[in-house]
Structure 1
């Protein structure tokens, strides 16, 4: 071997060190290899003292990792093709910190900036520039209710950071102008925050929200947020927390069973792979055993249901086993969310936002096991299905006999675009409205809260309802009711801000539209086009696909019935799939004499939106209990307005309601 060369062996694990010029500034790598290239988990020390510790793929950073620059800057999060990509945290040496989404090395999507002076900015970025609406909290004049408790902060390596979804409440203060020229001074006894709008990094609008104290709504919301915090709403699971050991047990069990089943050669599932008897059982003593490692949790029994079936399902959904384990079982742990429904279930979410883990009742577990053979066939036959994606079904038995059952599902809102509104739609009306005092940007709204109808491309809409009918037919055959369409909306506000830059005379004209008998007699102006459908080009789609998404690229009537990508001008190009990156126009249903807290008139009733859709809550059958509930509530509220109706009526009502939400529109 020549002097100065490096000997690399084709082994899974290895180490090398290269002495640099004149013996100065060394370079070393310790970790996994594949075909003489770094591949897997490894640590590399670069010249000039930079260090990367994390996952590699064919010689570049890919997956979760930590990069520390010699100047003191640190990034911890996801990588792709050697660049920051996905959810991550950057901490600069000056004390600034960004926790949010990245794309191709730039901040891109929603996030939170915590500045060195103690101020915060919550908003969205486009290629490292602030873009769209956001909220700025001045230094020293804001407290985060779940940031004040250090147990609720996320610990990533040596960094300790607050979660992006923190509930912030302003402290009492009053805003006045100083006498020395334009600076703001803050006095006690009022609240102040700055609502800002940016276009490509340029501040085009700022509104100061101030008052003489918290309103009843603000106080009620503050009380509600505090109550939710006590329940564990969106907090990280920390040692001593009531769910800490449960989380450790779950991670240990998933790591063991996925690692055990992955090396087994792929094969088609058999009848014996289904049912309660198709399981892996294991005891995890704290001190470890011949087949289980020692751990810091409590002793527990683990049961993994139908491992071969869920292994094949993960393959269908294009999930890599290593990435799946890293996402759920990595050092970052899980976050716990309060249940948005009435079931009382506990929800966990992985720190990369890819997976939900939900606790199940015994009856729900039985329903899932019973329907699993038909579910498997349905998913295999219909790759565009909108039904919830299931990846694993587990049970933990703790000392004393307490049993906790879990199901692992995909998070359909794991996207680089900001989800501005969420709706849970069933098609029923009884109880399907949200208390207005409790609504914020993270609230999941219901049927009667929906004030929009969505107009889509003709072929895109046809594909949507074809699959909805297939899915409802399957659920009806399994006697399932109470399911709903979960819908996330991304508004393309940055593309519509031109209207806000109109001269005052034009704005005044919009505010004084002629009205007759309380109804607006003119059509509102349609804003500039913010979404474009273009012919699909796989090499041009620069954004990462939604995790575990599958299915073909949709075709659109407007481009000659060809497969299409969604072009967001100045931002990105996205592949359009069923339920993922679906473009539409949202037409707001304005009410006569509509009241608003804003002093600014709303200019438009048509908005460009990107939709994310999925059918959820499919584990409730039309049992005897539901039949009794139907009979009782029918006498009080009418048989068609309540949720508990027989499966055929439920599916027909569900489709009829969605046809009104997504009305058919003749293409130009």
Structure 2
């Protein structure tokens, strides 16, 4: 019924500011991944982590020489390094492109953080295209070698997987947009009944009731978690495995001077199942078919073509401007992380997640979907200044004890506080 449908993102249709931008992004990804595939098969060098591939296209997706007229430019950073990361995570180029470009993404969400970034979901909800700040872009390039080694040497890592780093520039306004392609922590075929973003900080980490009303996918925070007396209900066996891996991952994040990351936790209640259609009607897509451009143009734009002698690119622009996105029902999507059990991360093998257990390691009716996200904030001079300023404000206002709850603290202090908060909320509630 219509009353049961809840939209997760905003529909992007003709006239939306990001309509053609999303098409350009995905055209660039498709060609760039194919280029990288052609060069695949050798050991990475340090130059591969610094490599930049510059491409230019017209609107039909045809590559142009850099000196020719073009509709947009696309930069692909460290293509072979990200190709290797995808291989380590058992993602083939064919599957990756099928998820991202066989249907065109037309659903967006604002980031729950303060950055103002946007998320765009792949058609199967498996990947997220996220816009990032220029500082995050430079940081990602600087740590990529270390990040690749960590992912390669820790197949059970809880860190978010990044699968591509790109930049697009429009010839219309010259604006640069940096973005990453990353793995989605949450599942495509399960209602996620609660979502938390946990940092271990208390400053600004509470979402009031009036912001939760009418939003089935609201992201709650640390103080909401504590107020509800939530715990990650993991028995001794799973608790030990989770805590061990989390410590390894946090030690790595401290080593690369990262901060402001969080543990995203999605909770699916097996007893409630998918009856509430929380994930229903999440995405809107459109499928411009290059092979059908001339036929479609002949039926709808024939007279315009005759009068103005429009090029194929011009026709495609008109078609895109008139295209009507189709709603995609995510309840029919398959959800498989890999083709064989031995290739899967054990934290994602039970209904695509990690099933809760009691103190006797007996399964409970909750599935957790979690991952450490937002890894691209470096503790730099700006963050040091933020910490100093907030500390002064708290001390002068008589809240001296709260200065330890500030989000912007040194990486070792941040990692220690983060680990302490998460490990204190593992297992069963203390009686």
Do the aligned residues in 2 keep the contact of 1:335 with 1:351 (CA within 8 Å)?
no
Report the CA distance shift for 1:665/1:642 in structure 2 as closer, same or farther (over 3 A). Answer: closer
TM-superposed CA distance for 1:633, in Å, is 1.2
**TM-score, structure 2 length as denominator?**
0.75
- Distance in 2 (CA, whole Å) between partners of 1:290 and 1:622 is 39
Larger RCO (CA under 8 A, 6+ residues apart) = 2
Q: Residue 423 of structure 2 corresponds to which residue in structure 1? A: 659
**Contact 2:57/2:63 (CA < 8 Å) preserved in 1?**
no
CA pair 611-329 structure 1, distance change in 2 beyond 3 A: same
Does residue 1:581 correspond to 2:354, yes or no?
yes
> What is the correspondence of 1:505-584 to structure 2 with a 5 Å cutoff?
544-546=335-337, 551-553=344-346, 575-576=349-350, 580-584=353-357
For residue 314 of structure 2, what is the aligned residue in structure 1?
none
Summarize the alignment of residues 415-434 of structure 1 with structure 2, pairs less than 5 Å apart.
415-434=188-207
Helix, strand or coil for the counterpart of 1:429? coil
The structure whose Rg is larger is 1
Residue 288 (structure 1) shift: 7.1
1:300 offset after TM fit, Å?
A: 0.9
Question: Conserved in 2, the CA contact under 8 Å of 1:414 and 1:547?
Answer: no
How many residue pairs match? The answer is: 348
Q: Does residue 222 of structure 2 align to residue 447 of structure 1? A: yes
Gap change, CA 1:363 and 1:584, over 3 Å in 2: same
User: 1:332 Cα deviation (Å)?
Assistant: 4.0
Partner of 2:252: 474
Within the candidate set 245, 252, 263, 2:27 is matched to 252
- Residues 1:342 and 2:114 are matched in the alignment: yes
Where in structure 2 are there 5+ consecutive unaligned residues?
274-333
Comparing both structures, which one devotes a greater share of its residues to helix? 2
1:321 partnered with 2:96: no
How far the C-alpha of 1:546 sits from its partner, in A, is 3.7
Does the C-alpha gap of structure 1 residues 264 and 660 become closer, same or farther in structure 2, counting only changes over 3 Å?
A: same
Residues 52-451 of structure 1 aligned to structure 2 (within 5 Å): 114=1, 120=2, 122=4, 164-166=5-7, 234-275=9-50, 278-286=51-59, 299-399=71-171, 400-439=173-212, 440-450=215-225, 451=228
Quote how far apart the aligned CAs of 1:435 are.
1.9
> Which runs of structure 2 are paired with 1:582-601 in the superposition (5 Å)?
582-584=355-357
Task: Give 1:545 shift.
Answer: 3.0
Report the CA distance between 1:290 and its aligned residue.
Answer: 6.4
- 1:618 aligned to 2:375? yes
Q: Does the 8 A contact of 1:354 with 1:547 survive in 2? A: no
Please tell me whether the aligned partners of residues 24 and 59 of structure 2 are also in contact (alpha carbons under 8 angstroms).
no
Contact 1:251 1:329 in 2 (8 A): yes
> How far apart in 1 are the matches of 2:237 and 2:126?
29
Superposed CA deviations along residues 524-555 of structure 1, whole A, max 9, x for unmatched, are xxxxxxxxxxxxxxxxxxx853469954547x
Cα–Cα, structure 1 residues 623 and 484, in superposed 2: closer, same or farther, change >3 Å? Answer: same
Counterpart of 2:387 in 1: which secondary structure? helix
- Aligned mates of 1:288, 1:343 — CA distance in 2: 31
CA distance 1:289–1:331, shift in 2 (3 Å): closer
In the aligned structure 2, how far is the partner of 1:287 from the partner of 1:358? 24
Kept after mapping to 2: 8 A contact 1:415/1:546 = no
SS in 2 for 1:493: coil
Other-structure match for 1:647 = 411
RMSD: 2.7
Match of 2:320 in 1: none
SS in 1 for 2:264: strand
Compared CA separation, residues 341 and 547, structure 1 to 2 (3 A): farther
SS of the equivalent of 2:38 reads coil
CA distance in 2 between counterparts of 1:354 and 1:552 reads 15
Q: Does the 8 Å contact 2:49/2:141 carry over to 1?
A: yes
TM-score (norm 1): 0.49
Mapped partners of 1:420, 1:655: distance in 2: 25
CA positional deviation for 1:584: 3.8
